[in-house]
Amino acid sequence: METIHITTTSREGLYDITDRVREVVRRSGVGDGIVNVYAQGATAGIMIQENWDRSVQNDVVALLRKLIPRGVWEHDRQDGNGDSHLKAGLVGPSETIPLTGGEMGLSRWQNIFFCEFDGPRRDRSIAVTVIGG
């Protein structure tokens, strides 16, 4: 297992971590198996999404803002980020990708995104676990 660290610059956003995960897979030397990518934090998630341009990523954030508005949740009375927890729970903390011949089984249009719902943050941690089959 390796940990990737990233800095986020906005309260909500998707950050492409595909190349960082690909590098962990390469260093592992595993040819066939799986890689699991896990966001360590209760207000973040991991999502596989289209990488063509930013429009889909922007649409994901816009949809979640509409579904889960800010400032109306019981948890907001504690620290004002009730929506962040709900968005992270809906997206989920991890994705698992098959490995074949040392390459991730992502399609041409898929990338791995860290989903920030409570930023900006100087240090977000993502656990990447590669398992050979």
Predicted confidence at residue 96, as pLDDT, reads: 98
Predicted confidence at residue 133, as pLDDT, reads: 77
Q: What is the CATH number of the domain that holds 49?
A: 2.60.120.460
**Domain encompassing residue 108:** 2-132
pLDDT per residue as tens, the chain (133 positions): 999 999 999 999 999 999 999 999 999 999 999 999 999 999 999 999 998 999 999 999 999 999 999 999 999 999 999 999 999 999 999 999 999 999 999 999 999 999 999 999 999 999 999 999 7
Predicted confidence at residue 74, as pLDDT, reads: 94
Domain count for the chain, please give it: 1
Per DSSP, the residues of the chain read: -EEEEE---SSSEEEE-HHHHHHHHHHHT--SEEEEEEEESTTEEEEEEE-SSHHHHHHHHHHHHHHS-TT-STTHHHHS-HHHHHHHHHH-SEEEEEEETTEE---TTEEEEEEESS---S-EEEEEEEEE-
